[in-house]
Amino acid sequence: MKVAIIEDEPLAAEKLERYLLKYNRDIEVLAKLPSLETAIPWIEEHQEDVDLFFMDVQLTDGLSFEIFSATPVKKPVIFTTAFDEFAIDAFKVNSIDYLLKPITFTDLSKALKKLKSLREQFSQYTEISPLVQQFGKKSYKDRFLVRMGNHIHSIPTESIGYFYAEGRDVYLKRTNGKKYLIEYTLESLEDLLDPKQFLRTNRSFIVHINAIEDVMVYANRRLKLTLNPKAENELIVSREKVSQFKLWFEGI
């Protein structure tokens, strides 16, 4: 694996390189770049040679997020920083992980294992996708029938903000704020809904991407979502779902 490190503190860059070689002697650090001024032209010229970028968020001449405005970054990124206030901005781009300084070897190892796992998952998808295309695209449910008293309504899927469970009951909540009891489990809904539009964020919620009004970094590297229409209960993305949520929310 070939890596580029964008870091304005020489000691931090050297420590990161030592940890990388400790993790795997075959890792090659192609460059250690201390600023936006040096990083942007280097990425434009050498990006195809790189498998992974490490980027310190705060550089001497600005934030590393400015790189993404200056040139397309097509490879995965692991951000490093002494502050957690930039986490939301980090996962809006190609972020695989967000490591808080001082970085430990354990932190680095977990991030690299996460990258490997994600690559394996997408590799499996790439292998089976031609077979899926051969038999046509899977169709997803575009309407749900709900009952209100003696009346039955047909609810278009695009007008649904989210599904949520309360005990054994599952509810559909529309973008207009109206909710309906439905005869589905969240598990069965996962197979019926378009995964580009809906994601199960924890044991109790399946959320439409357009219903997400705000995302906030929460305790233990989890995420807290604010929905529109407003949810009656607090919605926290479970820790094991955070990486999947980032990729889904970014549209990967």
Q: At what angle do helices 10-23 and 105-134 cross, to 10 degrees?
A: 60
pLDDT value for 117: 83
pLDDT value for 87: 58
- Residue 107: name the closest of 170, 22, 192, 225 by CA: 22
First to last CA, the chain: 22
- Residue 211: name the closest of 232, 199, 225, 227 by CA: 227
The residue with greater pLDDT, 136 or 109, is 109
Rounded CA-CA distance 65/86 in Å is: 10
Contact 140, 209 (CB under 8 A): no
Q: At what angle do helices 105-134 and 242-250 cross, to 10 degrees?
A: 50
Q: Judge whether residue 126 has pLDDT over 60.
A: no
Mean pLDDT over 131-158 rounds to: 78
- Residues pairing with 95 in the sheet: 77
Report residue 68: phi and psi, to 5°.
-70, -25
Contact 208, 197 (CB under 8 A): yes
C-alpha distances in Å from residue 43, one per residue of 49, 73, 157, 172: 9, 8, 42, 46
pLDDT value for 192: 92
Quote the DSSP letter at residue 168.
T
Structure tokens at 192: 């019926």
Report residue 57: phi and psi, to 5°.
-70, -50
pLDDT value for 149: 82
Q: What is the pLDDT of residues 156-171, one digit of tens each?
A: 999 999 999 998 899 9
- Pick from 2-6, 90-94, 109-113, 164-168 the range whose average pLDDT is largest: 2-6
Q: Which of 53-57, 78-82, 127-131 has the lowest mean pLDDT?
A: 127-131
pLDDT value for 219: 80
Largest CA distance in the chain: 71
pLDDT band per the 50, 70, 90 thresholds, residue 125: very low
pLDDT value for 151: 86
For the chain, what percent of residues have pLDDT higher than 90?
59
- Residue 29: name the closest of 7, 61, 44, 58 by CA: 7
Q: Judge whether residue 138 has pLDDT over 70.
A: no
Rounded CA-CA distance 52/50 in Å is: 6
Contact 4, 20 (CB under 8 A): no
Structure tokens at 35: 């600023």
Whole-prediction pTM: 0.51
Q: What is the pLDDT of residues 63-106, one digit of tens each?
A: 998 898 888 888 889 988 887 666 556 556 667 888 888 899 99
What H or E segment, with its residue span, contains residue 137? none
- Residues pairing with 239 in the sheet: none
Mean pLDDT over 24-41 rounds to: 95
Rounded CA-CA distance 58/125 in Å is: 35
CA atoms within 13 A on the CB side of 132: 9
